[in-house]
Structure 1
């Protein structure tokens, strides 16, 4: 009798847990209408040459341009260059199909270059040991669509490079191979 009662209590607790978790199914999702999280205007899922998921970039229209929210995972501790590239293609393994850095104003690369910086220039991503990389990036004066915009006829890609950007060497900051890439796509609807 006692073991039957304990077993029934266990089944009841399990059923209650399933119901409670079922109510959490959409909690925190960006597309949940009840969520407090803003819905990204565009995004890019980031992959390495083996096809492993390496993170995500969400793009939001902001009062002064575009804001990018990056989450990068699976990286060794170190410093990595990252840029917005001019073409929305990410053909592994070298990702050269992503084209050059996004440069609608036709200037040179690098914030420390007197002839730069272009819109695709980003600060370096610094990954500490045993952490996930996170960054908020701003593209002041940039637009998501229209003439000279991020998502023009051939799209755009977000690329992370093997080495740190030196912020001055044209055209790519001497940041090494392209090791992670994601095509930036507008939110449907």
Structure 2
């Protein structure tokens, strides 16, 4: 038997083992990135959008949000500490803030780990947000959005009725919670 004939089956076995290990590695791992998502619902429980989260190999989490049926303008949007989207969404708890910082991307003593730029909603009621953060992770760390020891669910994304002023503590004066999505691995 030649070296090539021995090497090809060995490579196949190794590739299968790596694929199997990735499938059981916690939050979805594909192409070197860790992924999570959320289906966003309004107060009546209607599906109004989605969020995607991808942690790249450098530890940066890319946040992509699409929502519809909202009032035009700017809306505060935050990661909250509890995976519960029971209306009126107060069970989602406060902003995700394991470091104990003050609220706001413009606050010298901030921001919370869960603070994000405002969601921009156009005149048709459709909003988009593309942002990045290094203040949270999707992998096992002190700032993970998941409780990896239990069920890989642990946080939510909340859209607020008003604009986040990015300074006022604790919520940026962004108003009522109008939409919510539980962040899940995968």
TM over 0.5: yes
Is residue 96 from structure 1 mapped to residue 90 from structure 2 by the alignment? yes
Shift of 1:40: 7.1
C-alpha separation between the residues in 1 aligned to 2:161 and 2:55? 29
Is the counterpart of residue 43 in structure 1 residue 37 in structure 2?
yes
Q: SS in structure 1 opposite 2:51? A: strand
**TM-score, normalization by structure 2:** 0.75
Matched, 1:114 2:113: no
Residue 79 of structure 1 corresponds to 74
Shift of 1:42: 0.8
Structure 2: how far apart are the matches of 1:97 and 1:141?
23
- Native 8 Å contact 2:85 2:156 kept in 1: yes
- In the TM superposition, residue 111 of structure 1 has moved relative to its aligned partner by 1.6
Distance in 2 between residues matched to 1:116 and 1:176, nearest whole Å: 19
Structure 2 unaligned blocks of 5 or more: 1-30
RMSD of equivalent CA atoms: 1.8
In 1: Cα distance, 2:36 partner to 2:91 partner: 20
1:40, 1:58 within 8 Å by CA — same for their partners in 2? no
2: CA distance, partners of 1:40 / 1:99: 25
Q: Tell me the equivalent position of 2:3.
A: none
Q: Which runs of 4+ in 1 moved over 3 A?
A: none
Residue matched to 1:186: 185
State the Cα distance separating 1:64 from its structure 2 match: 3.6
Aligned to 1:171: 170
Cα offset, 1:50, TM superposition: 0.7
Structure 1: distance between partners of 2:47 and 2:34: 19
Are the equivalent residues in 1 in contact too, given 2:114–2:136 (CA < 8 A)?
A: no
Which is greater in Rg? 1
Q: Deviations over 1:127-149 (max 9, x none)?
A: 12125212212121431132331
Matched, 1:123 2:122: no
Q: Which residue of 1 aligns with 2:64?
A: 69
What is the total number of aligned residue pairs between the two structures? 149
**Aligned equivalents of 1:40, 1:47: Cα separation in 2:** 24
Q: Contact 2:135–2:143 at 8 Å: present in 1 too?
A: no
